[in-house]
Amino acid sequence: MKKLITVALSLLFVVGLSGLAVAGSLDSPGAPSAGSGMYTLQNLYDYLTNGSALTVQSSFQEPTSGPGSTMKTTKQIGDAMKDKFNLCVATADNVEQGVTFFCTQPGSWGVRTGTLSVLPRPTATPTITSTPTITPTQTPSYASCKAILDAGASSGNGTYTIDPDGAGGANPFETYCDMSFDGGGWTFFAHVNDNSNCGDFFVTDTGTFRSDRSDTGALYSKGIVDALSDTQMMVTLNTSDPSSANSSNNLLLFKYASTNASFNNGGVPCSGSSESPSGNISGEYRLSPSDGWHTIEYTETNYCQSSSWGVIGCFGITGNCPLIKVENSSSHGTMRGCGLDSRNYTDRCDLSSPGVWSYDSWWYVR
């Protein structure tokens, strides 16, 4: 019996050793080979979430301790991959034909090739043979404020540049344009001071012209009247503003026949008229825009000469009775006469007191 037990134990030991031989050695494998470095889970997660570069370790490294609280799990890495891939919604029909792309849509996962028609591409680079020339737009030249108004180029009352005699003549200049009173288009051209020796300011530049119409205490003018085709004039007394002059009965509007080229103090502008005595101009006047036009009634011949110029009305009253008058030989500015003073011009003018001198006046044409 004892011998039988000994044999059984011997057989059991042999079988056990043969089983261990079949299962393999329990010893750990050898050291990792060269190039066995890997990405860390943290590195993979950072690459997916913020684009950090993937960095391979130089060789396999045994963990020195268990995973810490910040170690990323495979679940976190998988979720990051899913979130990123779900941003891509490309399909074959919106990728150009022949272009390879990676599809992340369910059922179409993997590398795919686009089927969108090939987009046209330029066949040649255009050649610029010359540099284009840009010509600046020139501002139109206007002869008067009325020309500006008629052309639709007015921006209201103010200073404008005009060139009455056109290209090749005198230089363009700035002047004030009244674009509202009585229909507008009035070109300011002269200021007669209250003590001026007037001269021929209608056609001669005098003094230092001021486009702001200020009272400088001296006569100044742009002698442009003979260069214009306008046939109306306006005179304001004591103020440069036509509206103010109109409200204070200090305004004279008049128009003259087209045969009178201008209003110079001399014989030429007074010629060509068969409607009035020799030495006078023909035309009409009114004392406000609401007034009717009245024929200028001439009674003397001394209102268009080298020494004197004036507009005469007085509704048939004979004698020295002008509505307005300036003199070359005097030194007392503009005279305010019949209809422009307190006397009733619709009745008669007091011939013994035909007017009062020494007024400032502002002159416009259109």
Residues above pLDDT 70, as percent of the chain: 67
Task: Report the phi/psi class of residue 230: left, alpha or beta, with left for phi > 0 and alpha for psi in -120 to 50.
Answer: beta
Please report whether residue 294 resides in a domain: yes
The CB density around residue 151, as the number of other CB atoms within 10 Å, is 10
Q: Is the pLDDT of residue 347 over 70?
A: no
Q: Which amino acid is at 302?
A: N
Binning the chain into helix, strand and coil, the percentages to the nearest 5 are: 20, 20, 60
Q: Is the pLDDT of residue 182 over 70?
A: yes
Kindly give the interhelix angle for 74-85 and 41-50, rounded to the nearest 10 degrees.
20
Q: Is the pLDDT of residue 158 over 90?
A: yes
Give the gyration radius of the chain's Cα atoms: 53
Please report whether residue 122 resides in a domain: no
pLDDT on residue 315: 53
Query: Of 272 and 316, which is predicted with more confidence?
Result: 316
Please report whether residue 246 resides in a domain: yes
pLDDT on residue 265: 41
Record the tokens describing residue 187, joined without a space. Answer: 């070109």
Mean pLDDT of 130-139: 67
Confidence tier at 69 by pLDDT (50, 70, 90) = low
Query: Of 158 and 48, which is predicted with more confidence?
Result: 158
pLDDT on residue 276: 43
CA pair distance 303, 270, nearest whole angstrom: 9
CA pair distance 192, 201, nearest whole angstrom: 9
Query: Of 320 and 348, which is predicted with more confidence?
Result: 320
Please report whether residue 323 resides in a domain: yes
**pTM, rounded to two decimals:** 0.60
CA pair distance 338, 320, nearest whole angstrom: 10
Encode pLDDT of 160-179 as tens digits: 999 999 888 899 999 999 99
Mean pLDDT of 130-141: 70
pLDDT on residue 310: 79
CA of residue 290 relative to chain centroid, distance: 39
Q: Is the pLDDT of residue 159 over 60?
A: yes
Query: Of 37 and 342, which is predicted with more confidence?
Result: 37
Mean pLDDT of 15-20: 49
Please report whether residue 315 resides in a domain: yes
CA pair distance 336, 267, nearest whole angstrom: 24
**Are the C-beta atoms of 305 and 284 separated by less than 8 Å?**
no
CA pair distance 90, 105, nearest whole angstrom: 8
Structural domain range at position 271: 145-365
pLDDT on residue 273: 42
Confidence tier at 29 by pLDDT (50, 70, 90) = low
> DSSP letters along 209-230, please?
--TT----SS-EE---GGG---
Please report whether residue 120 resides in a domain: no
pLDDT on residue 190: 95
Please report whether residue 123 resides in a domain: no
CA pair distance 296, 286, nearest whole angstrom: 10
Q: Is the pLDDT of residue 244 over 90?
A: yes
Which residue has tokens 């507009």? 311
Question: How many domains does the chain fold into?
Answer: 1
Please report whether residue 320 resides in a domain: yes
pLDDT on residue 220: 96
